[in-house]
Chain A
Amino acid sequence: MAEVTLTNVRKVYAGNVEAVKGVDIAVPDGGFCVLVGPSGCGKSTLLRMIAGLETITSGEIRIGDRVVNEIEPADRDIAMVFQNYALYPHMSVYDNMAYGLRNRKTPKDEIDRRVAEAARILAIEPFLQRKPRQLSGGQRQRVAMGRAIVRKPQVFLFDEPLSNLDAKLRVQMRVEIKKLQRALGVTSVYVTHDQVEAMTLSDKLVVMNGGLVEQVGVPNEVYRRPASRFVATFIGSPPMNIVPGTVEAGGRIAVAGRSIPATDLAPGIAPGTAVDVGLRPEDLEHGAADGIALPVDFVEELGAHQLFHGRLGDVEMVVQAPTGDVSHELKTLSLAIDPAKVHVFDRETGRRLGRD
């Protein structure tokens, strides 16, 4: 077991392309850290640097108290689960799991014991003698996990392991990965572009964009107090509405001709400053006497919820309401919001203008 510490890690590819621009992350022992971000944000590169599959341009990566910058992947005491599983096609499931152990000269009976144990945990015992191509996607995923487990590594690395699975299986495997990680207590770093996976799996969420860390925090905190406009729109589904507003005196903000209070607005911002205001679709409530008027273009029915789509000036807005609470035939919504749930962002930098 070990913590993983990244200090000012950078990656510059040939041609001066800077993929990772100085990242500091500390994953505690037994923690589950999820790196999330859009494609090209450097999250996979970062994971591959931890694995040792990419060289580190500058900075330092520690696993436990060992600096691993110059250590071969095989000697870093890590195990990795790949998006396309990367199982050896010509080997049986048993051999796939045993291969890494054999290369480490583990005694035969020890290999047998560990593979049997992993197979039991993952419920793949009936398939041990099959080849990967005879397995379904979910089963292959389990074998890939089994290959990681038998090694008893200090760190698990997951590179979008659920992307190739269908939606239902993905939800199921997500739960199993989380349970497994809890049970084994192995420090894990998990890369995904799926914010639902990121929210549900992590106990430390790292949102990345353009090679930089936008925010690090527990999922709930990232959701409730996004540190930037990018994080605000990336985490949460449907994404947060961003509407233009102007700061007024007394902690209020003018939005679409209405003045709304914002309790988290940082004091000391000059009235008249143009800002971006973030309002989550699920935080907006219809029914205020004198709320923000939103003309409804169309309504999406999701079963438990309805999504009202409309335009506020030039900005697309989405409002989520439980089905039945608001009639879907309404032409105009009158919206109000809890002042604590108003997010204010600097229009230029996109950083949150909040109280510390």
Chain B
Amino acid sequence: MVENRPFNTFMAYLVLAVGVLVVAFPVYLAVLASTFDAATIINGNMPLTPGDQAAENYYRTIFVGASRSTREPVGTMMINSFVMAMGIATGKIFISILSAFAVVYFAFPFRKTAFWVIFITLMLPVEVRIYPTYKIVADLGLLDTYTGLILPLIASATGTLLFRQFFMTIPDELLEASKIDGAGPFKFFKDTLVPLSVTTMAALFVIQFIYGWNQYLWPLLITTKDSMSTIVIGIKKMITTQDALTEWQIAMTTAVLAMLPPVAVVILMQRLFVKGLVETEK
């Protein structure tokens, strides 16, 4: 639309600016709080300019951890979160692309049924099936393991659907050309489908990495050891302490650290991400 109405433009910017403030201010506060010592935060007169405790806070948080609640260095938690998020993202891409390949390109009995069964899992996120899932994971002895953290979250249909939609847009002639060129199903998958799916994979990776990183309920349930807890759980443990003062500077530093990897993933992959969602390369 080509328009030139200064007032409208001004209003649009105003609304956007207010929106940005509303979203950004708490984040700014968290970043700010991570640069002060505990006393300054607690007395309620925290200035709106950064303090001088940043180096100290970050060092302590990453390598030592809170002294009165979880005691686990946040570095470990970040590694746990990272392993979980990466595991979920890559595992899901792997499972999804294979299942979509099967559903789209192979005519096997009950193919439609298989697809619908996968589809229905969209209505069954972990929160809904939490008890049976917990029971299975516990019986398999997977509590407090990375496998236990990752596996149950991999099983869902979003990725399969995304890849299926993408595969449907690939012209059949490409498959036929591959057949004539002497490529079997696996070669077609490896040489044609996977390279063409790179942007879709990137989109799925971004979504799933953030999904995995932000998981709360599931890790809360199945991790009991501090050494296995994820950073999101860590924040929660630091804030709700029984008989000690909350170490706000550590909690806030942890919160800031927890925000960084998803932001990094989005920034690094946003070009591919957008391409994967809107563009079909032919």
Interface residues in chain A, defined as those with a beta carbon under 8 Å from any beta carbon in chain B: 51-53, 72-75, 78-80, 82-84, 86-90, 99-100, 103-104, 133, 147
Does A104 lie within 8 Å of B176, measured CB to CB? no
Establish whether residues A103 and B187, one from each chain, have CB atoms under 8 Å apart when the complex forms: yes
Which residues of B165-222 are within 8 A (CB) of A?
Answer: 171, 173-174, 176-177, 179-183, 187, 191-192, 195-196
Contact B196 A80 (CB under 8 A): no
How far apart are A250's CB and chain B's nearest CB, in angstroms? 57
Query: Could you tell me the distance in whole angstroms from the C-beta of B237 to the nearest C-beta in chain A?
Result: 47
A78 touches B180 (CB 8 A): yes
The contact sample of 5 A-B pairs, CB cut-off 8 A, is A53-B179, A73-B180, A74-B181, A87-B177, A89-B282
Bound-state CA distance A79–B181 (Å) is: 8
Report the nearest A residue to B176, measured CB to CB. A53
Whether B52 sits at the interface, judged by CB under 8 Å, is: no
Complex alpha-carbon distance, A230 and B187, angstroms:
45
Contacts of B281 in A (CB 8 A): 89-90, 133
A269: min CB distance to chain B, Å:
49
Q: Is the CB of A82 within 8 A of B176?
A: yes
Contact of A103 among B173, B174, B182, B195 (CB under 8 A): B182
Chain B neighbourhood of A83, CB < 8 A: 173
Evaluate contact between A99 and B173: CB separation under 8 angstroms: no
B177, closest chain A residue (CB):
A86
A89, B196: Cβ atoms closer than 8 Å: yes
In the complex, what's the smallest C-beta–C-beta distance from A6 to chain B, in angstroms? Answer: 19
By beta carbon, the residue of chain B nearest A81 is B177
- Shortest CB-to-CB span from A48 to chain B, Å, is 8
Question: What are the 9 closest A-B residue pairs judged by CB atoms, nearest first?
Answer: A86-B173, A100-B181, A74-B182, A103-B182, A86-B177, A90-B195, A82-B173, A73-B179, A73-B180
A315 to B183 CA separation, bound complex (whole angstroms): 55
Q: Contacts A86-B171, A89-B281, A90-B195; is A80 near B182 (CB within 8 Å)?
A: no
Bound-state Cα–Cα, A88 to B188, Å: 11
Q: Are B177 and A82 interface neighbours, CB within 8 A? A: yes
User: Chain A's nearest CB lies how many Å from the CB of B203?
Assistant: 17
**Contact call B171/A84, Cβ cutoff below 8 A:** yes
A sample of 14 more A-B contacts (CB under 8 A), given A53-B176, A88-B177, is A75-B182, A84-B171, A84-B173, A86-B171, A86-B173, A86-B177, A87-B177, A88-B191, A88-B192, A90-B192, A100-B181, A103-B181, A103-B183, A133-B282
